[in-house]
Structures are given as structure tokens and as C-alpha cells.
């Protein structure tokens, strides 16, 4: 039977990291996968996470099953983190949150949930969007269309074009938005643009589906969810998929959630049973460890302030790196304006080089970036920035 299978190409992001690992060049740089790296290129375990793990190791007295929805206290904690205390209170039973195996598990679960609510639904994704959105959501059988998002010429959101298309999205379809730190472009919607999206969603009656993978990595824990909260307080229904991979550095622990805002308490009670059944049918229940860490950190004042402080250091460092990189590119007198990189948010920006130049960067310089020219700014550090800038100057001069 297996002989009938066709080999598939490697994942565009994970495959690149696998190749990077086998590269013997001591100067190699991995600008591909979106993980935070410190000044010496490590992806550290946050201090609060380490401390929480020690406490859990000492105090945990059972490994019995938790359940398809994960830990109820973690779910409440995540809802408060995303929505804020006031909205959390006012939504009451119109909101349900279910723990998932990371953001990917959450997207897959949400997609299955959407398919159950409307098998004919089309999900409208930004052009461009994260490379794994289509495989993840498509695997639940949903169809896709895209709306214009990033203008590679002006290096900004093509908002007029985006709005024009959103004005044609029918009721029953979903528009997938990135909550903050747009992946791959780093270009986010302004508060006014979020308001315009809210208005068109109300007018058209389509549903909004938000991927929130980077809360706290852009401008701040509160600022980064401005749009999410605006939509949660004004739309009758909303789907939010969140992840603790980046902001808690829990990548491999697979810690995420799906939060639904429903138009009534009854609708939410029903929707919640559909999420539970889908989780049970897919993976039975999510892994516990990461969620237990988040729950402990968020509910222990010293751990929470240590986490918030370290997250701020990470965010500030990424923003400093953006400025430093732009300055070095200017100093290298490359005949191009890279200033936009300084204004974008989160880990990613497009470098704006073509596929031939990307190939040269990978093959001749061991500088790895995905085919769209997306770079992970957090991979730049004092030891590799000059090599990166000089290599780019050479490749762009060719």
C-alpha cells in the first residue's frame, strides 16, 4: 500500500532550519524559523518558566488525564490575558476558551469547528500570510480566498485594496486576521484600520478569525491586543486562536488556546461542546506541562512580574535590532531604503530580495531565509550583523 505514496517537499520553514543545521560554515545565520534568539544565538528558557517548572516538579502529585478542554484555570487565565479583565467580565458566558496543543493545534481545531458550523465556509487569508495557514486550515476541508494585505513597493499595508475586497466577503465566510506582528510582513493594522475592519464585518456579516501568536512581542501586552479587544467587544461572534510559544518561549511544550465569543450564552454552551468533541476526536486532550507553567506564572505575582519584565526586554531588544540593522544597511551605502524594517513589529520583515538573491545568500554565504524573503530579525546579533550586512551589500551589488 505504501508504494502508492508520493514523497512531499519539506516544509518551507522547518525544512530550511533542517538544512541550516547541516551547514558547516561557522558564519552561517538562520534567519528562517520564527523563534526568538538572544545576543549569542540561543533560544533561552525564560526565568519565570524555569522557576515555575521547579515548583511544578516538586508539587505535582498526579499525571492523571485532564480532559479534552485542558485545564479550566489555564483557560480562564488565557482569556483574561487576551481580553483584559473588564471584557472578560462583561462577556461572561458569551465566551469560552479551550486549551490546545500550541497555536497550530488551535488553528486546526478552530478550522474543524468552522467546518462543523458551515462546511461551505471560505476562509479569506491575507496576501501574504504565514506559510502554514493554508495547510493547517485546509486540512479541515475549508476553502480559501485571499485579500490584498502587504504592498512590497511601499512596504506597508494596502489598506484601501484590502477594504475593497472585505466589502465583498459574504455572510458565512471568515476573514483571518493576524492579531499583531503580522507573519510574514511585520506590518500591522493601525487602530483606525481595525475600526474600519470591524465596521465592514458588521455591515457584511462575515465572521472574523484571529491568529494571535505574538501578544507582547510587538509594542506591549496590552497594545498588541487592541484590535482583538475592539472586535471582541463589538462583533456578535469571534474566533481567537492564541499561542504561548513565543511570548512564554514555550515552543516545544505546545501551549495554545481557542477562544470563542458567541452571540448568546446558549450559543456558547453549544459551541463549546463542538470544540470539546473535536478535540477528543483529534488528540483526546492537549499536553499539560506548558499550560501548568503559564497558569502558575500568571497567578504568582513575583513570577508574573519577572515574566513581564523579560518579555519587555525581548521586545525592546528586537526593536533595537531593527534600528541597528537599518543603520548598518545605511552605513554600507546599499542603494536601497530599508527604513521600513524599523517601523515593522514582531520578529519578521521582508528583506525584499528576489529568489535568485535568496539562493545566492543561502548557497554562497550560508545565510538562510525563506523564499518570500521573510527574515527573523531576532536572529541578528552583534556577532553576525556585520557579516549579514556585508554579504547583503555584495549580493545586491551583483
Binds ligand LMR (CB under 6 A): choice among 20, 30, 31, 34: 34
Q: Identify which of residues 185 and 324 has a Cβ nearer to ligand LMR in the complex.
A: 185
Is residue 172 helix, strand or coil?
Answer: coil
User: Is residue 249 within the footprint of ligand LMR (CB under 6 A)?
Assistant: no
Q: Which of these is catalytic: 30, 124, 158, 246?
A: 246
Interface with ligand LMR includes 214 (CB under 6 A)? no
Q: In what order do the strands lie in the sheet with 238-243?
A: 95-101, 255-261, 238-243, 207-212, 174-178, 122-127, 143-148
Measured from the CB of residue 376, what is the shortest distance to ligand LMR in angstroms?
A: 7
28 burial class (0-12, 13-18, 19+ CB within 10 angstroms)? middle
By CB under 6 A, tell whether 48 contacts ligand LMR.
no
Our measurement of the distance from residue 270's CA atom to the centroid of its chain's CA atoms, rounded to an integer in Å, reads 28
**189: closest CA among 172, 169, 175, 203?**
175
In three-state secondary structure terms, 314 is helix
Q: Which of 211, 224, 328, 345 is catalytic?
A: 211
Residue 375 in the binding site for ligand LMR (CB under 6 A) = no
For ligand LMR, give the closer residue by CB, 183 or 373: 183
Measured between alpha carbons, how far is 258 from 275 in angstroms, rounded to an integer?
9
Q: Are 98 and 70 in contact (CB under 8 A)?
A: yes
**Residue 130 CB, nearest distance to ligand LMR (Å)?**
6
Q: Tell me which residue of 117, 146, 154, 109 sits closest to 129, measured CA to CA.
A: 146
Annotated active-site residue 386? The verdict is no
The CB-of-89 to ligand LMR minimum distance in angstroms stands at 32
Residue 51: name the closest of 326, 313, 293 by CA. 293
Binding marks (x or -) toward ligand LMR, 56..95, rule CB under 6 A? ----------------------------------------
Q: Residues 16, 29, 31, 33: which binds ligand LMR (CB under 6 A)? A: 33
The three-state secondary structure class of 126 is strand
Applying the rule CB under 6 A, the residues between 102 and 141 that interact with ligand LMR are 130, 132
Distance CA 117, CA 111 (A): 10
**Number of residues engaging ligand LMR in binding (CB under 6 A):** 6
Q: What is the closest distance, in whole angstroms, from the C-beta atom of residue 11 to ligand LMR in the complex?
A: 8
| Cα torsion 292, 293, 294, 295: sign | positive
Residue among 182, 220, 225 at smallest CA distance from 344:
182
Omega before 397 cis (within 30°)? no
Q: Which is nearer to ligand LMR, 130 or 206 (CB)?
A: 130
Closest separation in Å from C-beta 358 to ligand LMR: 16
Q: How far is the CB of 389 from ligand LMR (least distance, A)?
A: 22
- Residues 5-24, one symbol each (x = binds ligand LMR by CB under 6 A, - = not), give --------x-----------
Listed in sequence order, the residues at least 6 apart from 272 whose beta carbon sits closer than 8 Å to its beta carbon are 69, 96, 98, 260
Among 51, 183, 366, 391, binds ligand LMR (CB under 6 A): 183
Query: 132 or 204: whose CB is closer to ligand LMR?
Result: 132
Question: Has 211 been annotated as catalytic?
Answer: yes
Question: If binding is defined by CB under 6 A, does position 43 make contact with ligand LMR?
Answer: no
Q: How far is the CB of 314 from ligand LMR (least distance, A)?
A: 15
Which of the residues 286 through 325 are near ligand LMR (CB under 6 A)? Answer: none
Which of the 8 DSSP states describes residue 70? -
State the catalytic residue, choosing from 124, 130, 194, 307. Answer: 130
Catalytic residues: 130, 211, 246
User: Applying CB under 6 A, which residues contact ligand LMR?
Assistant: 13, 33-34, 130, 132, 183
Amino acid at each position: 500500500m505504501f508504494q502508492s505514496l508520493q514523497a512531499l517537499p519539506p516544509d518551507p520553514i522547518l525544512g530550511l532550519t533542517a538544512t541550516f543545521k547541516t551547514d558547516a560554515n561557522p558564519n552561517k545565520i538562520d534567519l528562517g524559523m520564527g523563534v526568538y534568539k538572544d545576543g549569542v544565538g540561543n533560544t533561552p528558557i525564560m526565568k519565570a518558566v524555569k522557576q515555575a517548572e521547579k515548583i511544578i516538579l516538586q508539587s505535582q502529585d498526579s499525571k492523571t488525564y485532564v480532559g479534552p478542554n485542558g485545564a479550566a484555570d489555564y483557560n480562564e487565565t488565557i482569556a483574561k490575558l487576551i481580553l483584559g479583565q473588564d471584557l472578560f467580565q462583561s462577556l461572561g458566558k458569551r465566551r469560552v476558551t479551550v486549551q490546545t496543543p500550541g497555536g497550530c493545534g488551535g488553528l486546526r481545531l478552530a478550522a474543524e469547528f468552522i467546518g462543523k458550523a458551515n462546511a461551505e465556509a471560505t476562509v479569506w487569508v491575507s496576501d501574504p500570510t504565514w506559510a502554514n495557514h493554508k495547510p493547517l486550515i485546509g486540512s479541515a476541508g475549508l476553502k480559501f480566498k485571499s485579500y490584498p494585505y502587504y504592498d512590497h513597493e511601499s512596504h506597508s499595508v494596502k489598506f484601501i485594496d484590502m477594504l475593497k475586497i472585505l466589502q465583498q466577503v459574504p455572510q458565512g465566510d471568515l476573514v483571518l486576521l493576524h492579531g499583531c506582528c503580522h507573519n510574514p510582513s511585520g506590518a500591522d493594522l493601525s487602530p483606525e484600520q481595525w475600526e474600519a475592519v470591524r465596521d465592514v464585518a458588521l455591515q457584511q456579516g462575515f465572521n472574523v478569525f484571529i491568529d494571535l501568536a505574538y501578544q507582547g512581542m510587538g509594542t506591549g501586552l496590552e497594545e498588541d491586543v487592541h484590535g482583538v479587544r475592539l472586535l471582541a467587544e463589538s462583533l456578535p461572534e469571534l474566533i481567537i486562536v492564541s499561542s504561548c510559544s513565543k511570548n512564554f518561549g514555550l515552543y516545544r511544550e505546545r501551549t495554545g488556546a481557542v477562544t470563542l465569543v458567541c452571540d448568546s450564552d446558549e450559543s456558547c454552551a453549544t459551541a463549546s461542546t463542538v470544540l470539546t468533541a473535536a478535540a477528543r476526536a483529534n488528540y483526546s486532550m492537549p499536553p499539560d506541562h506548558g499550560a501548568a507553567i503559564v497558569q502558575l506564572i500568571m497567578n504568582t505575582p513575583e513570577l508574573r512580574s519577572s515574566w513581564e519584565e523579560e518579555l519587555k526586554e525581548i521586545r525592546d531588544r528586537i526593536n533595537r535590532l531593527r534600528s541597528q540593522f537599518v543603520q548598518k544597511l545605511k552605513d554600507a551605502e546599499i542603494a536601497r531604503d530599508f527604513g521600513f524594517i524599523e517601523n515593522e513589529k514582531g520578529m519578521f520583515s521582508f528583506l525584499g530580495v528576489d529568489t535568485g538573491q535568496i539562493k545566492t545568500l543561502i548557497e554562497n554565504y550560508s545565510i538562510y531565509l525563506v523564499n518570500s524573503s521573510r527574515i527573523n530579525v531576532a536572529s541578528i546579533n552583534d556577532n553576525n550583523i556585520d557579516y549579514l550586512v556585508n554579504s547583503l551589500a555584495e549580493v545586491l551589488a551583483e
